[in-house]
């Protein structure tokens, strides 16, 4: 582990932020949102008087991106006396008390380990869950392994869940050996300190480096054999309740899964309480029949829960990590961000397990401690504070022809309502720009861009396969891609007729077929929204190829509704008209329609607006809003429907 300290900011709080980001940048040092650090300083109270305070990392903030406001200041004169004046303090009492110790009542909530930092009589403190340290503490020998690595240069504290008593025990360990270089918490991590943030950091890096060197010279290899397995990814996603999946088939993961003892050591369990909170106690290791494996996993979890009487209701027993030899590791989260965090955490687990098994055999929390780590009331309470989920939260929506116009508006609107969007288009560069905009606005992996030619069977199937590998499946298809085609029938080339049907009929068939296959494998139902046209019910003169091919799309929608109903797959269509902010209205199209009506091309939008009953212009955003309604739960009992989005064109009333 390299000491990367290269500068020393002038302000102590800025030094703390700098230290945090150095730690957060080291993948082997800290989990996402984990670790904590502090510095004791002074601040002004409401009367302008200097008071002793401690700036402490806020609960759940991420070290690699932390900012000063995420270090709330707590009054030490309120906190320090607790060590002598209280023998016990529940988690809730502690949280309530700390809220009253903030110099800014509106500040972020301080770390659950605030008292641990406050009770240590040192200025700067750093605590991480370094992989190398956990590999040494999570062994059969535990204490002996730590001593073999560090001798008597560190203090040790037996495992205890974070809280008041652990804070007291850490302070006691410091008092018993004040000249120690650090404190090792069994199954938990490492604490170091110093007169400055830089000194605490330097000690930390030194101890972690010594642990890494110990592991390197003490480890022994494990036998590896090539294992073969297959898995139906949409089926897996369906069995996991439709969570967003991420597949990691990196060499590191596959090497772990191909160990002869992979199933055994994976079943030992997660390394720390922080791991358990994210990825639960054990992964699902798939050997043989997936459904049978999952049923056994759930039964074991339920039995484990019943063995520990609790007033807390049983949590979801489904696994968050699924290990499939020769295929890779799947992580399942409520969204792509959660799945990525779980992926990163189990990568840490793999390194810890591999290293620990290589020196003294991997061991972790016992059943009782593991149960109370997962069923920690303080953490469960946080779940009740989460905001209400958006309409398409956790859904995967694939939109064809999504690079601009109606498709773009749909992709943006769905992403705003929580969907993970697969942006497909012939213009993959433009699709990529939109996907990046969605990611920048809504978060990690919330959109991907894929090239898709809806008229080409191989292209459609490849895009759906890649969507499945990216997210686990597809819940919504907005079959939007289409082309305009105009010309009198007696003048229309056959090639132009065929081109219209290739995109406006066959294209929708190929996309719908691929979507139905995935949706049936998931067994979660699904929604398919076809962007048809006003021309389905009111065809236009010199629009024969377009009108007839769109009528075929409408009939396809009805057939999808008929065949998909028993599988919970809904199919509905939108009939928009005169959407001038779409690529349908090319300069050639505008000129042709203006000529047909004896108008100047610039007067065309006004003409179409005035022919509607509502005297309004319909935009791509209006169509996207209707698509959202048909795709989401508000229309859960609607299928086979035709919804005009045209401002009221009486000739196009559905009949």
Residue 502 falls within a domain, yes or no? yes
**Contact predicate 655/538, CB 8 Å:** no
Residue 411 falls within a domain, yes or no? yes
pLDDT-derived band at 221 (thresholds 50, 70, 90) equals: confident
User: Do 209 and 242 reside in the same domain of the chain?
Assistant: no
In tens, the pLDDT along 552-596 reads 999 999 999 999 999 999 999 999 988 877 777 777 777 777 777
**DSSP per position, 6-75:** ----SSHHHHHHHHHHHHHT-TTT--TT--EEEEEEEEE-TTS-EEEEEEEPBTT--GGG--GGGS-EEE
Q: 358, 383, 408 — which closes off a domain? A: 383
State the total domains in the chain: 3
Output the pLDDT for position 360: 86
* DSSP letter (8 states) at residue 484: -
Q: How far apart are CA 288 and CA 268, in angstroms?
A: 20
Question: Of 10-19, 481-490, 580-589, which range is least confident?
Answer: 580-589
Q: 173, 190, 218 — which closes off a domain? A: 218
Residue 589 falls within a domain, yes or no? no
Does the pLDDT value for residue 223 go beyond 90? Answer: no
Q: Which two structure tokens, joined as six digits, stand for 37?
A: 């650090």
At residue 554, φ and ψ (nearest 5 deg) are -60, -40
Does the pLDDT value for residue 158 go beyond 90? Answer: yes
User: Do 207 and 339 reside in the same domain of the chain?
Assistant: no
Compute CA distances 157 → 131, 176, 183, 359, whole Å.
Answer: 18, 12, 7, 21
Task: Identify the CA nearest to 129 among candidates 175, 178, 191.
Answer: 191
Helices (H) and strands (E) in the chain, counts: 26, 18
In tens, the pLDDT along 300-322 reads 999 999 999 888 999 999 999 99
Does the pLDDT value for residue 163 go beyond 80? Answer: yes
Residue 103 falls within a domain, yes or no? yes
Q: How far apart are CA 183 and CA 191, in angstroms?
A: 5
Compute CA distances 59 → 163, 339, 411, whole Å.
Answer: 13, 20, 34
Compute CA distances 559 → 112, 168, 172, 174, 553, whole Å.
Answer: 57, 69, 73, 73, 10
In tens, the pLDDT along 35-51 reads 999 999 998 877 788 89
**Contact predicate 264/361, CB 8 Å:** no
* Average confidence (pLDDT) over 540-547: 88
* Average confidence (pLDDT) over 15-41: 92
Does the pLDDT value for residue 615 go beyond 80? Answer: yes
Output the pLDDT for position 215: 94
**Contact predicate 160/187, CB 8 Å:** no
Q: How far apart are CA 649 and CA 639, in angstroms?
A: 23
In tens, the pLDDT along 354-400 reads 999 999 899 999 999 999 999 988 777 777 777 889 999 999 999 99
* Average confidence (pLDDT) over 8-26: 94
User: Do 304 and 271 reside in the same domain of the chain?
Assistant: yes
For the chain, give the mean pLDDT: 93
The question of whether 97 is a catalytic residue gets the answer no
Task: Identify the CA nearest to 197 among candidates 57, 331, 321.
Answer: 57
* Average confidence (pLDDT) over 481-490: 88
Q: How far apart are CA 37 and CA 15, in angstroms?
A: 11
User: Do 277 and 185 reside in the same domain of the chain?
Assistant: no
What is the CATH classification number for the domain harbouring 22?
A: 3.40.225.10
User: Do 353 and 480 reside in the same domain of the chain?
Assistant: no
* Average confidence (pLDDT) over 622-644: 97
Compute CA distances 16 → 6, 54, 71, 161, 340, whole Å.
Answer: 14, 11, 9, 25, 27
In tens, the pLDDT along 429-466 reads 999 999 999 999 999 999 999 999 999 999 999 999 99
Q: Which two structure tokens, joined as six digits, stand for 294?
A: 């999952």
User: Do 309 and 430 reside in the same domain of the chain?
Assistant: no
* Average confidence (pLDDT) over 330-356: 95
Output the pLDDT for position 4: 95
User: Do 61 and 174 reside in the same domain of the chain?
Assistant: yes
pLDDT-derived band at 174 (thresholds 50, 70, 90) equals: very high
User: Do 377 and 403 reside in the same domain of the chain?
Assistant: no
For residue 594, count CB atoms less than 10 angstroms from its CB and return exposed for 0-12, middle for 13-18, buried for 19 or more: middle
Q: How far apart are CA 563 and CA 516, in angstroms?
A: 10
User: Do 213 and 240 reside in the same domain of the chain?
Assistant: no
Residue 610 falls within a domain, yes or no? no
Output the pLDDT for position 6: 95
At residue 300, φ and ψ (nearest 5 deg) are -65, -40
Output the pLDDT for position 170: 97
Does the pLDDT value for residue 484 go beyond 90? Answer: no
SS3 content of the chain, % helix, strand, coil (to 5): 50, 15, 35
Residue 390 falls within a domain, yes or no? no
Q: How far is CA 369 from the centre of its chain?
A: 27
**Contact predicate 365/391, CB 8 Å:** no
Does the pLDDT value for residue 599 go beyond 90? Answer: no
Residue 461 falls within a domain, yes or no? yes
Please identify which of the residues 471, 546, 597, 608 carries the catalytic annotation: 546
Q: How far apart are CA 540 and CA 543, in angstroms?
A: 5
Output the pLDDT for position 345: 93
pLDDT-derived band at 608 (thresholds 50, 70, 90) equals: confident
* Average confidence (pLDDT) over 523-534: 96
What is the CATH classification number for the domain harbouring 642?
A: 3.40.50.720
Q: How far apart are CA 477 and CA 446, in angstroms?
A: 16
In tens, the pLDDT along 99-130 reads 999 998 888 999 999 999 999 999 999 999 99
Residue 614 falls within a domain, yes or no? no
Task: Identify the CA nearest to 621 among candidates 576, 589, 590, 655.
Answer: 576
User: Do 48 and 130 reside in the same domain of the chain?
Assistant: yes
Task: Identify the CA nearest to 294 among candidates 332, 268, 265.
Answer: 332
User: Do 73 and 173 reside in the same domain of the chain?
Assistant: yes
Residue 607: which H helix or E strand, with range? helix 604-610
Task: Identify the CA nearest to 261 among candidates 343, 356, 144.
Answer: 356
User: Do 439 and 567 reside in the same domain of the chain?
Assistant: yes
Residues 6+ apart with CB under 8 A from 502: 455
328-333/321-324 β-pairing: antiparallel
Residue 189's domain comprises 12-218
Task: Identify the CA nearest to 196 among candidates 35, 38, 2, 24.
Answer: 38
């Amino acid at each position: 582990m390299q000491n990367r300290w290269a500068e020393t900011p002038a302000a102590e709080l800025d030094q703390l932020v700098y230290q945090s980001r150095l730690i957060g940048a080291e993948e082997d040092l800290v989990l996402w949102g984990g670790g904590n650090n502090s510095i004791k300083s002074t601040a002004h109270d409401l009367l302008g008087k200097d008071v002793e305070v401690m700036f402490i990392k806020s609960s759940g903030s991420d070290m690699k991106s932390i900012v000063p406001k995420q270090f709330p200041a707590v009054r030490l004169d309120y906190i320090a006396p607790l060590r002598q004046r209280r023998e016990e303090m529940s988690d809730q009492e502690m949280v309530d008390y700390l809220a009253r110790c903030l110099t800014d009542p509106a500040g972020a909530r301080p770390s659950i380990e605030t008292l641990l930092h406050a009770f240590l009589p040192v200025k700067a403190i750093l605590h991480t869950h370094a992989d190398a340290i956990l590999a040494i503490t999570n062994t059969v020998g535990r204490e002996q392994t730590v001593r073999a690595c560090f001798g008597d240069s560190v203090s040790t504290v037996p495992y205890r869940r974070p809280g008041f008593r652990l804070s007291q025990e850490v302070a006691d360990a410091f008092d018993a050996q004040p000249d120690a270089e650090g404190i090792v918490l069994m199954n938990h991590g490492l604490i170091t300190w110093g007169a400055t943030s830089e000194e605490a950091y330097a000690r930390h890096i030194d101890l972690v480096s010594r642990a890494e060197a110990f592991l390197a010279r003490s480890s022994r290899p494990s036998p590896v054999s090539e294992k073969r397995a297959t898995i139906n990814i949409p089926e897996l996603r369906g069995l996991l309740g439709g969570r967003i999946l991420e597949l990691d088939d990196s060499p590191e993961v596959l090497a772990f899964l191909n160990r002869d003892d992979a199933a055994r050591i994976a079943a030992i369990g997660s390394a720390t309480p922080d791991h358990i909170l994210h990825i639960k106690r054990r992964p699902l290791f798939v050997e043989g029949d997936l459904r049978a494996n999952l049923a056994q996993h759930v039964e074991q979890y339920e039995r484990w829960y019943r063995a520990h009487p609790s007033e807390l209701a049983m949590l979801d027993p489904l696994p968050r990590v699924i290990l499939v030899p020769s295929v890779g590791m799947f992580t399942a989260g409520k969204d792509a961000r959660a799945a990525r965090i779980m992926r990163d955490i189990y990568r840490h687990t793999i390194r810890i397990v591999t290293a620990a098994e290589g020196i003294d055999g991997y061991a972790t929390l016992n059943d009782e401690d593991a149960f109370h780590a997962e069923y920690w009331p303080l953490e469960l309470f946080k779940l009740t504070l989460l905001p209400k989920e958006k309409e398409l939260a956790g859904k995967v929506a694939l939109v064809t022809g999504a690079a601009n116009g109606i498709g773009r508006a749909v992709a943006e609107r769905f992403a705003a309502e929580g969907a993970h969007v697969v942006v497909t288009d012939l213009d993959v560069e433009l699709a990529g720009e939109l996907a990046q905009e969605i990611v920048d606005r809504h978060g990690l992996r919330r959109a991907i861009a894929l090239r898709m030619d809806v008229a080409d069977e191989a292209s459609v199937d490849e895009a759906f396969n890649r969507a499945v590998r990216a997210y686990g499946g597809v819940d919504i298809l907005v079959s939007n891609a289409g082309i305009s085609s105009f010309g009198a029938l007696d003048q229309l080339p056959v090639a132009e007729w065929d081109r219209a049907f290739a995109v406006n009929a066959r294209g929708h068939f190929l996309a719908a077929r691929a979507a139905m296959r995935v949706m049936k494998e998931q067994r979660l139902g699904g929604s398919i929204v076809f962007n048809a046209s006003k021309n389905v019910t009111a065809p236009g003169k010199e629009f024969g190829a377009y009108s007839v091919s769109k009528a075929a799309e409408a009939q396809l929608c009805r057939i999808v509704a008929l065949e998909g109903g028993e599988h919970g797959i809904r199919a509905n269509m939108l009939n928009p008209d005169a959407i001038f902010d779409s690529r349908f209205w090319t300069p050639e199209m505008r000129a042709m329609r203006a000529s047909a009506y004896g108008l100047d091309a610039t007067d065309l939008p006004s003409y179409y607006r005035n022919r509607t009953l509502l005297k309004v212009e319909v935009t791509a955003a209006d169509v996207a809003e209707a698509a959202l309604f048909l795709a989401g739960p508000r229309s859960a009992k609607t299928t086979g429907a035709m919804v005009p989005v045209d401002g009221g064109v009486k000739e196009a009333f559905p009949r």
